[in-house]
A = this chain, B = another copy of it.
Amino acid sequence: MRFLHTADWHIGKNLNGYDLLDDQVATFHRIERIAQEKQVDAVVIAGDLYDRSIPSEAAVRTLNSMLGRLNLQDHFPVLAISGNHDSATRLGTGADWFALKSLYLNTTLVNAFEPVIIKNTQFFLLPFFGIQEVRNYFHDDAIRNVNQAMERIVKAMKEKFAPDKAHVLVAHFFAAGAQRTADSETLVEVGGLSAVSTRLLAPFDYVALGHLHNRDALHDERARYSGSPMKFSVSEAKQKKGVWIVDTDPFKVEWVPLPPVHDIHLLKGSFADLVAAAGKHDPADFYDIELTDHERIPDVLSKLREHYPKIVSLHRTHQARQVETLVDQKRRRADPMDLLADFYQQTMGDDLSAQQRQWAQQSLEKISEED
């Protein structure tokens, strides 16, 4: 069994107001070509197919067409799950029909325990889940965190393991290495969101992960993030993007890079230097610029955009408090809840949970009432 492991397509995402859909289509075609050249037996997409729960019509049209190409035209079996950015219900539309053509799209916890068997491998497709869902499924309110939830989930999956098959888990969560030498393991905690210990993932021959956009977020031979196939924010400017080609027998992984369609560059310099160097830079690429000038340059963004049309952020070294983020006009008038959710997402690398969102909403309403 040889499969391609990708994740976090975020179809419909924009980069500070710049539409990325054309780049996403171009990147998809590169992924498709890799799958063909490597003659994989299946394509795995580990969640966050869309960027938001209600994607635009253009995003829907685009993903529909991508899945159609892979599955109906190229005849690849596809194994996909919903991520935290997807609406499980919306993304799941058509799944019962898809499965008849070996497009296995699982968006429900209930269906995670019936493996899809392709050649010598059992694939367990575990969508992004909430703790409450797991409690309900196992009728056990004692499950208090994501690690305990995964312990139960993995135990139930192991009962379905066929001994003569390889076992692959496709999942979408924050996984982190644990200190295996100590008696009690230290789990990494980020922003109060606990991570799944990679120790729990040991029973699988391979875990195809989605969620974190950086493939180097985790170092584990058998549990890997593919990362996103494209750079989706300035914070990803220096990350390597690509896909894993995984062989189960004998076990082997190969990284195939995806060169950016339009790269994100971090530039730092004086206004004069940046203008002088503009000829060396592709005007179709994206730029994060740090301006080192001491004096204030009037209308500097417009002037820089004559040379670098797609500036996604502009900072000033010597006016630290005046960081300017270039958001589209819409965001200036945006709902405070959306701004807060965006801020949280950018800061924590994860979405607000339903509970957090409710708290935030209540607080915002209170503030607004106090006005």
**Hey, which bits of chain A sit against chain B, CB under 8 A?**
54, 57, 60-61, 64, 68, 72, 87, 89-90, 92-94, 96-98, 100-101, 103
Of A72, A87, A93, A98, most B-chain CB atoms within 10 Å: A93
CB distance from A80 to the nearest CB of B (A): 13
CA distance A103 to B64 in the complex (A): 17
A92: B residues at CB distance < 8 A: 64
Chain B residue at minimum C-beta to C-beta distance from A63: B93
A72: B residues at CB distance < 8 A: 96-97
Judge whether B93 and A93 touch: CB under 8 Å: yes
A60: B residues at CB distance < 8 A: 89-90, 93
A90: B residues at CB distance < 8 A: 57, 60
CB distance from A147 to the nearest CB of B (A): 28
A61: B residues at CB distance < 8 A: 89
Chain B residue at minimum C-beta to C-beta distance from A88: B57
A100: B residues at CB distance < 8 A: 97, 100-101
CA distance A72 to B60 in the complex (A): 24
CA distance A93 to B95 in the complex (A): 10
CA distance A68 to B60 in the complex (A): 21
CB distance from A48 to the nearest CB of B (A): 17
A57: B residues at CB distance < 8 A: 87, 89-90
CB distance from A178 to the nearest CB of B (A): 36
CB distance from A365 to the nearest CB of B (A): 13
**26 sampled A-B residue pairs with Cβ under 8 A:** A54-B54, A57-B87, A57-B89, A57-B90, A60-B89, A60-B90, A60-B93, A61-B89, A64-B92, A64-B93, A64-B94, A68-B96, A72-B96, A72-B97, A93-B93, A93-B94, A94-B94, A94-B97, A94-B98, A97-B97, A97-B98, A97-B100, A97-B101, A97-B103, A100-B100, A100-B101
